[in-house]
Chain A
Amino acid sequence: MKKKYKIIPDMKFRSCLTVNPFRIEELNIAKKGIWYFRFGLQAFELKVETSDEIAIDELHLSIDVIDQAGIPLDSQYEITIFGNEIIIGPYIGILATHEQSRLEELLYASYSKYIYDYPAIGGAILIFSLEGVDTKNDIIEGFMYNPVTDIWEKGQYCYPSSIFKTISMNKELRSFFQTKYKDRIFNIYNFNKWQMYDWLSNISTVKDYLPETYLYKKVNNIESLIVKHEELYIKPIYGSRGRGIFKVSNLQGKYKISYDKNDGKQEVIVNSIVELLEFLESQIKHKAYIIQRAIVPQMIDERMVDYRMILTKDQSGNWKENGLVSRLGMTGNITSNISTGGEAEDGETILQKSFGIDAHESFRLHKKMREVAFEAALGLEKSGVHCGNLGIDMLLGKDQQIWIIEINNINPNALIMVRVGDRNQYYKVKLANMLYAKKLAGFSEEEA
């Protein structure tokens, strides 16, 4: 447990930090010379003084620095020393949405859950929108958490030390944030389904777990593929929640196209490849799609079963699994997405049910799935994406072969944990995200 400090405004001096002599020794900041005081991306040159009259858990900071840096005074801060810098924090930003107008509603509806365990995080936590970033003046308009009043305070603040990004954004903005933040922002790039396959299929430890996937092209490879694989999925590159997915089955000369509508499964039978292509073109229009070999999963009562594993990095920076949930589709549906009427259940329970195995065997299978998921996460990072929070969708074949179908890194929703009754696991995911941001801000776990 790192020591926490309160910042007390000091009216007497300018550019000065005064600390209890005991702490000065302990923090190893007794040396004379130049010090910089850092809060977020801002640093201020100041001198360090010592005084017996200061309580051991207080930092007296001259008011000019407090004003310029905009340091919230109700927060509890930790200190780290890096070279000639005294860093207080963590100062973490959550980039929550594009539009400023949506911030307030999101704050209390969902983002407050990130700080349920504020004492474990500490420091200053700012929630902001892309619109609130004033790149000319290096100011962010957003909401800062006040742990004393439990209220988010609207205001203008300086740039935080690290950013947890939960939305997608364009290339210019990505470069802007990369320039400012380097590796202290995570989830900066949001890959699509094709990129995921294209990158991971080059990684030897992962490629065997990916169903063959192709980019959908107009004059097409579909003909040879449908002969080769019998059943194919055609999925939008950017889609989520199972929307816009078609399943094509080869019925020897005829082709069946199935897709989910709100009220259940739709089926169309066409008599030739030409008709098939025409149908798909009319549905797909100009959007980018992939073609994926359909894996026949182990089902339960004719319901599709897939699994979502949630991976997070925590304050140590290591990947951890935060739960395995299985999703059961509606009978006959082509996906198991819960937004189209499916159900969620505890992953191991469904592993046991669907394969008729005991808790020992499901433990083993679960472990194997976790190892595959970790390899995929490492593979994505080798491909240049800094991740901290992944939702990995997997299928299991009848032979218990593991298939990675999709990976979501735009803040995958852990709310599914609540559906299976594990509300604490849901909070743990949110806390892990914040603790990883804390690490990136320069406040890593203490060494043992």
Chain B
Amino acid sequence: MLMIKQDPSLLQSEISIPMTLNNQPHEPVRRVVFHFGQWQRDFLVRYRDDSEQQIGLPENLDLPFQIPLNLKYQVKLDGHHLILGPVVGFITNQKKENLAPKGLNISYRYMRLLDDNGLTFICAVDGINVKEQTIEGYYYSHNDEEPWKKGVFPFPAALYRRATVPNSLYSELVNIMGDEIFNSYPFNKWETWDWLSSNPELRRHLPYTERFSSVQVLDSMLSRFGTVYAKQENGKASENLFKISKEMQAYHVFDSEGKEQILPEEKAEEFFSSFIKKKYILQQEIEVSRYEGRHIDFRMIMQKDGNQQWGCTAIITKFGERNGITTIVSDSGFALSGENALRKVFKLNRKQTFRKLEEMTSICIEMCKALERTGGHYADLGVDLMIDKNLKVWILEINNKLPDHSMPFDFLKDANLLQKVLSTPLEYARARAGF
């Protein structure tokens, strides 16, 4: 860990580094490419033989951004590349005016638990300046009464996307940063099926899905599965969810509140035309497991860690409302740890419980890897699984846009686990940024 100092004795083109960094005593590096986030500049090296671990920069660098001098950094000399960091950014909002130190203090209270380690900043979509390659936002400064400080920064080495980024801006970001943005492309429900179902290991765990392109597709799905779910391709987990079955030439359509509509066949074209227009998918019904009439599913919090490896940080069982068709954990729903639920609901013994949890985890890890092979860079996903009556594991949904992990914890009340869930993506981002 070292500090950055401004050194008036340095020329505009010079940087000073401690002697101890020189790992090639016989042929010390004379010129370096200095990296701070995505920003790079060529410098002449001056070695300083003092005990203080610091990097010296010339006074008038004339940069469009700041290098905060009150933070501790790590430094790596890799050949003639001198990398200062980690520089990590989070995009969390659309508008910078909605970012405020007070709110950040609450949402990112776990920051103070992490090491004073490089630059971590939070920004909004409209704070990104592609032309200048700078980002306006707030950075976190440890040991300060008011830890969030406003500033302008270079593009970071790793960017955690927690807000919707318009396509054109996203392309610009990729153009500058490459693949260092996660979660990258927000795939929808159709793409989940489309990307993953060609993998035979995963196919077995995915409910059969088709695009709701015509009433004929609906009819063929109904004749095959009896009951199907219609969901909006881009909708959230439980928005615009319908359960459809057919009896005596009439469609029975239940909405997520359980209200039933009965449609004679001849009304179908007209009724379902809005589904077709609004891009719905049709999905095979899975025989749900219920506990006291409640829907049960499992939220698997899948994250990459500081070793840049996928793991399951937490498994939370969600219980829906009595006789509801979803598991929105609302006032009358509740949550349990995965282990307790398997023992209580499925009456598994210890060995079976352990095996099932490991199986759920390994299916999800395989799925995360497959998503990265087929579609993008991900590091923080909320995966909803279901276990049917035959104890088979089904992948219901992958929340990749803005997974809000704190929600089930409102019920689970495990502060220690929540800390881990919230801080793991940052650990990953720092590792990704080279440290």
Identify the A interface with B (CB < 8 A).
1, 116-117, 119-120, 316, 318, 348, 358-364, 367, 423-424, 427-428, 431, 446, 448
Contact = CB atoms under 8 A, between A and B. Distances in A.
B419 to A, nearest CB: 4
B369 interface: yes
17 contacts: A1-B362, A117-B358, A120-B359, A120-B362, A318-B307, A348-B416, A359-B419, A360-B109, A360-B112, A364-B113, A364-B114, A367-B114, A424-B339, A424-B354, A424-B357, A427-B350, A448-B310
Given A360-B112, A360-B419, A119 B339 contact: no
B357 A316 contact: no
Listed from nearest, the 10 A-B pairs whose CB atoms lie closest are: A359-B415, A364-B113, A363-B419, A427-B354, A117-B358, A448-B369, A116-B351, A1-B201, A1-B366, A318-B307
Given A359-B415, A362-B416, A446-B369, A424 B353 contact: yes
A219 to B, nearest CB: 41
B91 to A, nearest CB: 24
B110 interface: yes
Nearest to A367: B113
Given A117-B355, A119-B355, A448-B369, A423 B350 contact: yes
Given A116-B351, A117-B358, A424-B354, A318 B419 contact: no
Interface centre among A117, A318, A446 (most CB of B within 10 A): A117
A431 B358 contact: yes
Contacts, number: 59
A133 to B, nearest CB: 30
Nearest to B354: A427
B420 interface: yes
B416 A359 contact: yes
Contacts of B369: 446, 448
A403 to B, nearest CB: 20
Interface in B77-100: none
Nearest to A364: B113
A361 B114 CA distance: 10
Chain B interface size band reads: 20 to 34
A359 B416 CA distance: 6
Given A1-B201, A116-B354, A116-B355, A360 B309 contact: no
A424 B361 CA distance: 13
Nearest to A112: B351
Nearest to B113: A364
Interface of B: 109-110, 112-114, 201, 307, 309-310, 339, 350-351, 353-355, 357-359, 362-363, 366, 369, 372-373, 415-416, 419-420, 423
Nearest to B337: A424
A428 B354 CA distance: 8
Interface centre among B350, B359, B362 (most CB of A within 10 A): B350
B333 to A, nearest CB: 24
B396 to A, nearest CB: 19
A446 B353 CA distance: 25
A117 B357 CA distance: 10
Contacts of A367: 113-114
Contact of A360 (B110, B307, B351, B366): B110
Nearest to A349: B416
Contacts of A120: 358-359, 362
Contacts of B353: 424
Given A116-B351, A367-B113, A424-B339, 19 more contacts: A116-B354, A116-B355, A117-B359, A119-B359, A318-B307, A359-B416, A360-B415, A360-B419, A361-B113, A363-B113, A363-B416, A363-B419, A364-B113, A424-B353, A431-B358, A448-B310, A448-B369, A448-B372, A448-B373
Contacts of B339: 424
A3 to B, nearest CB: 8
A117 B354 contact: yes
Nearest to B350: A423
Contact of B309 (A119, A316, A359): A316
Contacts of B357: 424
A31 to B, nearest CB: 26
Nearest to A430: B354
A367 B426 CA distance: 14
Contacts of A361: 113
A318 B423 CA distance: 20
B307 A316 contact: yes
Contacts of A362: 416
A1 B205 CA distance: 13
Contacts of B420: 363
Interface centre among B109, B201, B357, B358 (most CB of A within 10 A): B358
Interface centre among B109, B112, B354, B372 (most CB of A within 10 A): B354
A75 B163 CA distance: 48
A360 B362 contact: no
B110 to A, nearest CB: 7
A429 to B, nearest CB: 11
Contacts of B358: 117, 120, 431
A360 B106 CA distance: 13
A152 to B, nearest CB: 16
A446 B362 CA distance: 12
Contacts of B355: 116-117, 119
B385 to A, nearest CB: 16
Contacts of B112: 360, 364
Nearest to A316: B309
A348 B420 CA distance: 13
Contacts of B373: 448
Contacts of A348: 416
Interface centre among B109, B113, B351, B362 (most CB of A within 10 A): B113
Nearest to A361: B113
Nearest to B370: A448
Nearest to A418: B350
A318 B416 CA distance: 23
Nearest to B355: A117
Nearest to A351: B416
A235 B91 CA distance: 55
A136 B282 CA distance: 66
Contacts of A446: 369
Interface centre among A117, A364, A428, A448 (most CB of B within 10 A): A448
A355 to B, nearest CB: 14
Nearest to B315: A424
Nearest to A365: B113
A267 B369 CA distance: 61
A364 B111 CA distance: 10
